[in-house]
Chain A
């Protein structure tokens, strides 16, 4: 049995201690922790590495006594004498009673990049701890801010100074900076993003309402940044019908990301009304949005609502109305410069003509003329022309269908439009827009198709006289010719036109021309 020396440490342990002094400095947090563990639990180290049997009998006793002391409640079970003996023995053994716990592999966790924090160097870990404590510090300051703000809101008096608590702009700015710092620290440490709304003390009183979605929902979308957060705040303020500037800004943010959101526009309109925002100012903003989102329909509906709201305030002032009409016109032309056939813009234009009574307006008529001149094939422009000519309340029957004769339309109008259409047809005979327009005018005026027979015939020569001689400058002319002959009762000639269309001049529609020939018989 080895001699017990005063320190009660066996040779094995001595050797161990020497080994430790020679051991390299810990590089990582994990290594440091292990080093601490071993130095404060020298006996355990031996037990773990070599087994209990390898301890000297004295050390075995010490080890077991230590375990006893470290297990809560066990010492009290001993008799008083036993406890005295226990403590005397341990005191003589001169060994630390407390040790650091055994490190676990996973006790530090992983950082946002998946790296084990236990592998951090001592400097890295120190920096990490500093950031964590900085977050706590900031959080505490933020809490003080909130408490003070509540006191200011409820006009609580500071008992010490007798003054009512106030929050200054500087306080708010400091809080914003604080939250900004917390957000970036949290992002650095945990990869957590804090939404701009959570960072803004101005939104603290709103409890956001995020959408509820089960796993594996249909057509889930990987939203753009901030959209989900912004939506959760929007839902909260819409639910309580808050009409304030901060909500106006929020609608703008949502509209930018999802202009097709079908309730945010209604909400924005309510805010505009509640805050008495000038319609021209709102229109200026809307113009920008319109350029951004050319195919959006809600934008034009919103515009219409704004004009409906605004018009009664300028109705009595003819000059103001004219000025407004001009501004709208200029904006519409800017929209058309991006897309001459934008359906929503043309629909809105019709609305404007009705609303501001632009039927006889020269700028309106000249503009449509110019657009047709610029592009004879712009069917939207032709359609608009038909609208302003044949829906003009001073010259036409209200509610007359586009497809029916209107006896109220003056003859000079019909004649003018026929000439106009014919002029444009000559410029581009294979443009169906102008041929359709011509037909539409003839029906409106109840003008027999035969009236334009000579004109139409210009485009068709030697029909049915063989491929070499037959000349057709416009398939639409041939189509109309068939109708002219049919109207006049000349079924055979009508049939010839339709047959030649199917055989040669418009073979795509072979089936249709056959169908038309069948209809002739009826």
Chain B
């Protein structure tokens, strides 16, 4: 737990106990039927739940995820691993073992029979989950993960233009759009499993990826889903974080620091300009109707800069695109991106905190998307991520220190780094069954 003079002046403070209750309910009970449409991303939901509890650790005298639970959950995550590389998004995507493998007479090897169940996003979140659930300093974090198969599979998901898809189809094609999120996930997997290590035979085409990201900067400085689409903070974060992870995993000790961030963003000042402009004064009323799609699209113009008032700015929300309403998660995406660009001080922190703590934080804990709305697992996590990131090296009282590259606690990130080291030096381990592909 961090304390400092600045912590005393934080207004309002985070009511961590309330959030712990919310997350423990999510952890212990079954999610309601509205979440049926999230069935294919249960691994992602699970990540938010356990990582939130991990972040809230300093606020609880006893471990929020006890050791016996950690073992059981690790096993649950590992059961989602596809025998031929990658992870499936949920148990409904895991077939009985006999149906996952077939003999390919052409290559005379066993290959995946249901390749499309292995999903890139699921794989990234699986590794992050294992990081959060790891014990000790983390050498065993990735025990049971098939590093070679996963990295080999990841390579197959990259197209010639450098972008990544979501899954492989049955006939080996890449499916899923050229989404910036997949680029980010690919960078996470590469960092976590050491794709850049050794002879780099397991590494994907980094330069092509950087070129793809580069093409996504828009005329207003932001980054889009992929080339030429509208600028969007979520994709901006994914682009910057992907590049930051390429830098973190850079095997070349002589390399210029942040060379990938510079290579991947044609104009960093323009991107910063875009990101800082996502923050604006919140002037909503108490009867905000967030269910009305149309209302969220037509916010009042931000006339506040032109007002004559000298009053201190009370609350500021963030949007992800120009002229849209504030949404809790964009407080995270924007501050995360700026933090990775080394410019987190450009955010006006106090009003940003106040907006989410007073307007979107819910009575029962968690955060909602819009003021007055119900909390959901995704926005509840992003709210915590935003608070932790904006607090920087000091940390937000009640929360662990945060790693904005991976959107997890710094502890979890450190354990993952340790695990990678352990995987790559099998001679030092007693019974390493990970580092080669034979069965």
Contacts and interface: CB of A to CB of B under 8 A. Distances in A.
B259 interface: no
Nearest to B303: A430
Most chain A CB atoms below 10 A, which of B116, B230, B293, B347? B230
Contact of A341 (B72, B75, B304, B321): B321
B220 interface: yes
B134 to A, nearest CB: 16
Contacts of A404: 266
Nearest to B72: A216
Contacts of B313: 507-508
B301 A440 contact: no
A431 B93 contact: no
Most chain B CB atoms below 10 A, which of A440, A444, A474? A440
A220 B76 CA distance: 12
Q: Interface majority SS on B: helix, strand, loop or mixed? A: mixed
Interface in A494-521: 505-512, 515, 519
The range of chain A's interface size is: 35 or more
A1 B295 CA distance: 101
Contacts of B25: none
Interface in A281-309: 294, 297, 301
A40 interface: no
B176 interface: yes
Given A403-B270, A515-B343, A383 B217 contact: no
A383 B346 contact: no
Contact of A505 (B32, B73, B117, B306): B306
Contacts of A378: 297, 323
Interface stretch (A20-28, A171-179, A205-213, A407-415): A205-213
Given A219-B46, A220-B30, A263 B116 contact: yes
A227 B39 contact: yes
Contacts of A235: 92, 95
A467 to B, nearest CB: 9
Contact of A512 (B27, B114, B228, B276): B276
A259 interface: yes
A507 B308 CA distance: 12
Contact of B91 (A217, A239, A258): A217
A346 interface: yes
Interface in A219-249: 219-224, 227, 231, 235, 238-239, 241
Contacts of B324: 341, 379
The range of chain B's interface size is: 35 or more
Interface string A74-86: 0000000000000
B49 interface: yes
Contacts of B302: 430
Given A263-B117, A508-B316, A219 B91 contact: no
B348 interface: yes
Given A258-B39, A260-B40, A346-B230, A436 B220 contact: yes
A510 to B, nearest CB: 7
B217 A402 contact: yes
B219 A214 contact: no
Interface string B296-334: 011001111110000001001000011110000000000
A439 interface: yes
A437 interface: yes
A509 B346 contact: yes
B117 A301 contact: no
Nearest to B91: A211
Nearest to A403: B266
B41 interface: yes
Interface in A349-375: 350, 375
A433 B49 CA distance: 37
Nearest to B351: A508
B234 to A, nearest CB: 10
A510 B279 CA distance: 12
A218 B303 CA distance: 46
Nearest to A340: B297
B49 A219 contact: yes
B229 interface: yes
B267 A403 contact: yes
18 contacts: A221-B36, A223-B39, A235-B92, A239-B114, A258-B38, A263-B93, A263-B116, A270-B170, A297-B177, A301-B175, A341-B321, A343-B230, A383-B231, A432-B277, A432-B323, A433-B322, A505-B306, A515-B343
What are the 6 A-B residue pairs with the smallest beta carbon separation, nearest first?
Answer: A440-B219, A436-B220, A379-B322, A218-B46, A377-B323, A383-B230
Interface of A: 209, 211-214, 216-224, 227, 231, 235, 238-239, 241, 257-263, 266, 270, 294, 297, 301, 338-341, 343, 346-347, 350, 375, 377-380, 383-384, 386-387, 390-391, 399, 401-404, 428, 430-433, 436-437, 439-440, 443-444, 472-475, 505-512, 515, 519
